[in-house]
């Protein structure tokens, strides 16, 4: 069972990601190369969507897993950057839509999850209509565009309809997460030791401009390497751990390496939101192991002890490779959130957000709704000495959704996620990993918005497609 996770597809994905990243770095230095590659990738995905939709889907999935904000490649149109994610989205959707018109790839429309998607889409439509009626067009568009990723749900459900494709998608996830983990640790080494031969200024600019993530000096020689796509590293951690615990694969050494790599990366990200999600996922996994899989308390506690020791050793490893032996580099993230500008600004959003939500609590104020609050971010203070900042995007994920589509819309979204979790229970192997990973993302979303972004939406649709298969066949 699941014995092909680390064979050809894993290796091919890893190599192709490496090639894509090298080309991305080069493209970000030369606009013409960026434009040419952007067009070639878009046309290639469009052609593949007609030849074999699943091949185009694998490209879409890989970009989602590694791309964070989606700007590994981009093109400038009308003073706006169009990301390669939008190009891939458009190409594969167009290819699927034309084929669906000829009665191909329509599995989504017979899925048991369809009513939940339709119910939630009603509130998205209400939020969109309200937004265009009451807010600036540009604000509405950039607030809404991430939600358009839900239009890909029919493609996910059409492609992920058999065991082989699902296993291939998992192999792509594990390969992508391994690549991101190695990339994270190499960047940590490079910046901690100031490897000037790498031209760190260009590397930093590429990481920022491509939307992949952030590199921030924390203390001494310890840098925070944070990618938004680390949410898929977190996902890979739980799936790999579930396979190990349930002894479901021959690839025990490889799976253990994935667990170590991904957990070290989550630690190095210094993301408190991820850490809380990690803790919640592990707690729920422990409960499921005892309640569903009849593990003894002693066995679960033993597993918990091993994981705690692993985290301690990984923290020591990070201090060792960075040459920073100031324990506060990691432990200060567990301190009071009011002591940091970013965390303090997040807390300052609460009052204004709740006040705005009260205007239209049930149906929401629509996309593009702006809220002003006082931020402690130094970049904001440079523009406004008093710290006033007006935006349509907020760190509090559930409050952001509540503001835009209302309490009813938020509940409809949570109902969709609940049915995915419920259906996942039908299969112990995949179900344990899916439930733990999705729970981790649900907790992470409290403080860092993912469920209103393609990264989180893509995860929900991907898990939804798999859980629908599990419910129908239960053969994985």
For position 369, what pLDDT does the model report? 95
Contact at 8 Å (CB) between 223 and 185?
Answer: no
* Interval 465-474: pLDDT, tens: 999 988 887 6
Phi-psi region of 390 (alpha: psi -120 to 50; beta: other; left: phi over 0): beta
Contact at 8 Å (CB) between 395 and 349?
Answer: yes
Model confidence at 454: pLDDT above 90: yes
Residue 291 belongs to a domain: no
For position 197, what pLDDT does the model report? 87
Residue 155 belongs to a domain: yes
Res. 412 pLDDT band, cuts 50 70 90: very high
Residue 38 belongs to a domain: no
Radius of gyration of the chain (CA): 22
* DSSP state string for 335-384: S-GGGSHHHHHHHHTHHHHHHHHTTSTTT-S-TT--EEEE---HHHHHH-
Question: What is the pLDDT averaged over residues 299-328?
Answer: 90
Report the distance separating Cα 136 and Cα 335, nearest Å: 39
Residue 446 belongs to a domain: yes
> Could you list the residue range(s) of the whole structural domain that residue 443 is in?
112-159+338-476
Q: Which own/partner pairs from 13-22 qualify as long-range (CB within 8 Å, at least 24 positions apart)?
A: 13/62, 13/171, 13/172, 13/175, 13/176, 14/175, 14/178, 14/179, 16/62, 17/62, 17/66, 17/175, 17/176, 17/179, 18/179, 20/72, 21/66, 21/72, 21/183
* Interval 100-138: pLDDT, tens: 999 999 999 999 999 999 999 999 999 999 999 999 999
For position 192, what pLDDT does the model report? 93
In eight-state DSSP terms, residue 289 is H
Q: Taking the C-alpha atoms of 289, 295, 301 and 306 in order, what is their torsion angle to the nearest 10 degrees?
A: -80
Contact at 8 Å (CB) between 354 and 399?
Answer: yes
For position 389, what pLDDT does the model report? 85
Residue 385 belongs to a domain: yes
Contact at 8 Å (CB) between 274 and 473?
Answer: no
For position 226, what pLDDT does the model report? 96
Residue 200 belongs to a domain: no
Lookup result for tokens 């093109």: 75
For position 426, what pLDDT does the model report? 81
**What's the chain's average pLDDT?**
92
Residue 184 belongs to a domain: no
Alpha helices in 269-296, H assignment, sequence order:
272-291
Question: What is the pLDDT averaged over residues 281-302?
Answer: 95
* DSSP state string for 198-238: G-HHHHHHHHHHTTSEEEEEEETTEEEEEETTHHHHHHHHH
Model confidence at 6: pLDDT above 80: yes
Low-confidence winner among 169-173, 310-314, 340-344, 396-400 (lowest mean pLDDT): 340-344
What is the percentage of the chain residues whose pLDDT exceeds 90? 80
Residue 405 belongs to a domain: yes
* Interval 49-99: pLDDT, tens: 999 999 999 999 999 999 999 999 999 988 889 999 999 999 999 999 999
Question: What is the pLDDT averaged over residues 229-247?
Answer: 95
* Interval 193-214: pLDDT, tens: 999 888 999 999 999 999 999 9
Tell me how many domains the chain contains. Answer: 1
Question: What is the pLDDT averaged over residues 324-350?
Answer: 69
Question: What is the pLDDT averaged over residues 143-167?
Answer: 95
Say how far residue 352 (Cα) sits from the centre of its chain. Answer: 27
């Amino acid at each position: 069972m699941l014995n092909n996770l680390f064979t050809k597809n894993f290796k091919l994905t890893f190599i192709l990601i490496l090639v894509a990243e090298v080309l991305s770095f080069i493209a970000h230095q030369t606009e013409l190369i960026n434009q040419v590659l952007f067009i070639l990738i878009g046309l290639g995905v469009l052609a593949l969507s007609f030849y074999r939709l699943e091949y185009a889907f694998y490209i879409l999935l890989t970009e989602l897993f590694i791309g964070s904000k989606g700007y590994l490649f981009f093109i400038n149109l009308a003073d706006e950057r169009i990301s390669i994610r939008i190009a891939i989205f458009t190409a594969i959707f167009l290819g699927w839509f034309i084929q669906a018109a000829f009665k191909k790839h329509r599995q989504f429309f017979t899925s048991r999850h369809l009513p939940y998607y339709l119910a939630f889409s009603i509130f998205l439509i209400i939020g969109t209509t309200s937004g265009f009626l009451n807010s600036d067009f540009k604000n509405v568009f950039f607030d809404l565009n991430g939600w358009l990723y839900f239009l890909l749900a029919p493609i996910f459900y059409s492609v992920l309809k058999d065991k082989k494709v699902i296993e291939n998608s998992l192999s792509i996830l594990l390969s992508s997460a391994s690549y991101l983990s190695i990339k994270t640790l190499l960047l940590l080494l490079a910046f901690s030791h100031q490897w000037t031969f790498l031209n760190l200024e260009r590397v930093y600019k590429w990481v920022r401009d491509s939307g992949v993530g952030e590199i921030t000096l924390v203390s001494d020689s310890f840098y925070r390497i944070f990618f938004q796509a680390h949410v898929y590293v977190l996902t890979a951690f739980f799936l790999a751990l579930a396979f190990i615990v349930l002894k479901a694969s021959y690839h025990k050494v490889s799976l253990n390496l994935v667990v170590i790599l991904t957990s070290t990366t989550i630690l190095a990200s210094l993301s408190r939101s991820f850490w809380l999600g990690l803790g919640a996922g592990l707690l729920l996994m422990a409960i499921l192991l005892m309640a569903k899989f009849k593990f003894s308390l002693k066995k679960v506690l033993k597993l918990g002890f091993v994981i705690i020791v692993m985290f301690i050793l990984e923290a020591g490893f990070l201090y060792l490779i960075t040459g920073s032996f100031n324990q506060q580099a990691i432990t200060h993230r567990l301190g009071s959130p009011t002591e940091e500008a970013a965390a303090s600004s997040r807390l300052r959003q609460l009052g204004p957000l709740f006040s705005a939500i009260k205007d239209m609590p049930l149906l929401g104020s629509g996309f593009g709704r702006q809220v002003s609050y006082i931020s402690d971010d130094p970049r904001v203070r440079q523009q406004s000495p008093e710290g006033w900042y007006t935006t349509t995007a907020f760190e509090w994920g559930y409050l952001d959704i509540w503001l835009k589509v209302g309490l009813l819309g938020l509940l409809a979204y949570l109902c969709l996620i609940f049915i995915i979790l419920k259906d996942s229970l039908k299969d112990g192997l995949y179900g344990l990993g899916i439930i733990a990973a999705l729970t981790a993302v649900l907790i992470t979303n409290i403080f860092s918005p993912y469920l209103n972004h393609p990264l989180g939406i893509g995860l929900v649709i991907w898990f939804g497609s798999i859980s629908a298969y599990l419910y129908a066949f239960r053969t994985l």
